[in-house]
Structure 1
Amino acid sequence: MRLKTIAAFCAAAALSVGGAWLSAGWVEARSGEVVTSTLIDGQHDWTTVTTDGLLVALGGEAPDEATRFRVVSAVGRVIDPDRIVDNMDVKAREQIKAPRFSVEMLRNGEGISLIGLIPPTGDGKGIAEQLADVANNTPVTDLLETASYPVPENWEAALAYSIKALRDLERSKISVSADLVEITAISDSPESKRRIESQLARSVPNGVRLALSISAPRPVITPFTLRFTLDAEGNASFDACSADTEDAKSRILRAASSVGQIEKPECAIGLGVPSPNWAKAVEVAMSGLKDMGGGSLTFSDADITLVALDTTSQGTFDRVVGEVDAALPEVFSMHAVLPEKVVVDGTGAEAAVEFVATRSPEGLVQLRGRLTDDGIEQIVGSFARAQFGSDKVYLATRDDPNLPESWPVRVLAALEALATLESGSAVVQKDYVEIRGLSGDKNASDTISRTLADKLGDAENFDVNVRYDEMLDTTLNIPTPEECVSRINSILSAAKITFEPSSAEITADTKRTIDRIAEIAKQCERVKMEIGGYTDSQGREEMNSALSQQRADSVRAALQSRRVLTSNITAKGYGEADPIADNDTADGREANRRIEFKLLTDARAAATDDASGDTEATTEAETETPSE
């Protein structure tokens, strides 16, 4: 009996254990199915589910902390939260990129608008405050936002440059970023356009790219003039060129290139063309000039003057003139001249039948040669004094009643042309006028040709030989040689260039000084200057001389690295010579360690070149410490 009881008890225990095991397995499987289904429905299929008895372990990488929390919460709604084991990882958050700082500035007659994202301005004035005085009682719309992120390199320089540009441009749009400034503006004239482009290009900060789009209104050209010359060797040139469209300009320049060798042809586009067939008429006339072997071609509105070379045969002249006249479009009329050989005396001497006016670089004007009578002499003298100044004109002419009737008109036209030049000469003969000289205006030849074509009428055999000199161009605001050196030395007196001790390496805190000098040097590239290096008297004289030369060379190299043309800049080390302070004191020695810029005359520049050529490199090892 007792054995049966024990057997029954064991059987019951086995059944209990087996039932518990089966129940746990079913709960485990069921839990896994329910949790997996819930995660799939919630689009969290990236989560792994592992069951261990009543425990449910969740794994995988959640995209963020919020998603991980949502997964745990969703699973906790279908099983007891105490059974959840959270083994999930959270994906590392990507570092937020700094935003791109930029500003759009718009200025017109209605005011100034600012929009963009900028760094905090700190204690300084905001952009709107800096431009308040420019608005002229018009509103400044400030839509700028700020973000506290590191300020990009060149941002402050680019922004300061753009604010200054907006001050100078009344109708403009400026887009600013740390590495690029885009300026779109409208100027008052082509001359103003060139001046603005030059000033903006010269002052752009280092490390900042500049994109310019400055437009100017199309000028009204009157008379609508084209002046083209071709010599016997096939060399061609424009004294003046006008076109009404880009297509007409291209046709004219192609025709000119096919006629002769021409360098950098240019043609102004303007209003006032007398006929839509302007380009066709120019092409026909240029082709005729080539067939004739050379000469000059002048268009003044619809009137054309073709002047052959004095070596052209009569038969060739007659044939070409007939062909060109027949091929010209309607409206255009041609006057052709086969001139006698022109001999220019240019002195106004007794034997020469001519009038000569010369203008010196100092502005002094001498009038010599022949005029019709005393009355014409008074008119010419008054006109010259009005053009050049009463105290600038010297009149020494003689009367000749046999001069042609058009002589006074030709003289006055020549003086008007000469007044547009900085220096030069004008020669007037019966059938010929010659203008030569220098000008700071790129369009001087156009202006003179237009004046002569308008005033001389059919007798348009003239020659214009004017050379442009950018140093005389007032629109470029180029300083004089003396101003160049003075401005650079003013910068050095305020913040000197310093070097590492006993070294030619320029210190980092001198960068801004070099930058400012480079800005001026770019405007003075034709000025011959010398960079002089000086030391104090400590150390051996030979070593100080070598160190000062190395430092002067370092400054020249630093300017060259800032895109300064240094072909006219020499570097010379003077060592401990020419002290400006007492070498017995620390302050005095500091003052004597300096860089100076000097203006070189042609003779001194040549002497400097010779001296630098004789310098020999020192190879002997030095043991003494040189001046700092």
Structure 2
Amino acid sequence: MQTAAARLFASLAVGVTVAGAGGFGWTAAAGLERRAAERVAAMARAAGADWLVMEVDGLRVTIAGVAPDEAGAEAARAAAAAAGRFARVVDLVAVAEPAPPPPDVALTLVIGEGGATLSGVAPTANTRLRLAEALPGVVADTAEDARADGASPPGWRMIEAAAVRAAEALAEGSVTLGAQSFSVAGRPRSAADRAEIEALAAGLAAEGATVSLDLADAAPGDAAPGRTAPPPVAASRAYRTTGAQDADAPGQRPPRDGALFAPTGPETAGPWLRARADADLVVLTGAAPDAATRDAVIAYAGARFGADRVHHGLTVSAAAGREGWRAAALAALNALAALDEGEAAAKMGVATLSGVTTKPDAARAAHRALADAETSGWRTASRVTVDLPARAARARLPLDLCAERLSAITAASPILFAPASAEIDGDSEPALDALAEVLGRCDGGEIVVEGHTDSQGSAGYNLALSQRRAEAVRTALATRGAPKAALTARGYGQERPIADNATEEGRAQNRRIAFAATPPEAVAKGDAAAGDEAP
């Protein structure tokens, strides 16, 4: 007979039901059953069996649930057998079917006169979004997503960035990228674009990727200066933002292609340099006057941009060049390093720069850096766009406003976890990305990542679960670039409900991740107090 002592026991993780004994002595019997159940629950949690559900009735224990694998099921059975002197263990544990492995990642961009098409399997939906933004000429996207957890294969972003560059450089053809592979086939727009694709491939091969190139010769006239209609996939990197202002001519946006900024090619007499940079890669193509100068330019680029970002296809020119080329090339690279992304060139006595920045001071610094080429008798020309919308989006946020925006994000898109676990659900990846972006703009102080639960289960377990979940969110944000030192994880368990725990709707609202701000002076005061308490 079920008595008052019979009720759901323990935590959200390990469910335990204790059935009381009827008649005289039920209180003592229920107490023994409860202690036995506590031992089983503790040993199950220690074995990692958070999924286990148990019912204790006298000297019989029933265990159930779905184990992630056979080893987990055996661990739970061993915990039940070792935790109490049960006359009978009823085993209803099932083992989950193994999840099918994700499909192999492989994307193909096909470039033609009508634009580009994307097909294959992408690591994540974000991959396809990035490619659509970087290549506005993509007119059809039939790709699928391999994973829901937002994880990309190691080195994928570098290969992805190289694929974008290669797609821009092709007049027609295809670019195929895999987890550790890169393949380009087709006709480049110019000899300079061919050299850039070869430089990208060489850089990826040096990083261990499998590379394949099948490039036809560029058609005569592809590199003619001043072309007015670049292929649909071109003109997509340096000037893709809207509402930007040009630092030299407010309200105007500089063209990517034109007589002054046309791609340089080996057909140019004498040494030449073209450098293209964005957040992922810096690609150098051209021909230096001698091997020593070539090595000096490559070394300088590595120092200014980071050697891991720089890929080059620089050769040595057999033709005599204009005096001062080395100084002009270094000035162009120095100017390019001040921008978020852009292109610089040094050829035939002219050093040029075009690009985008969110900082007016950086635009002025780039102009000054390029002017150093004039001391060697070279002419200079620069067009730099200050992207005002992007600047506003990156502005620092007061700490209280930062915490409000973080909480608003989690209110609209709650951070989800696996049941009774601190494992973050893959559907929360976009919310985590948005949170990390805001955290990068928080101005000083400390942000507390708060974990909260409903009132089901024991207070002690809920407190520990909320702490683990808060720490998991802190770690996930730090891996996305959020300043980990400015984040503190704190679990409150069921202590701070915001809704009625008597209803399912209220309990769902109480299971949450929230954010609170601690001003810099409070952080400093707390650190000082901690120092005073130290022995």
TM-score (norm 2): 0.35
Q: Which has the higher contact order (CA 8 A, sep 6+)?
A: 2
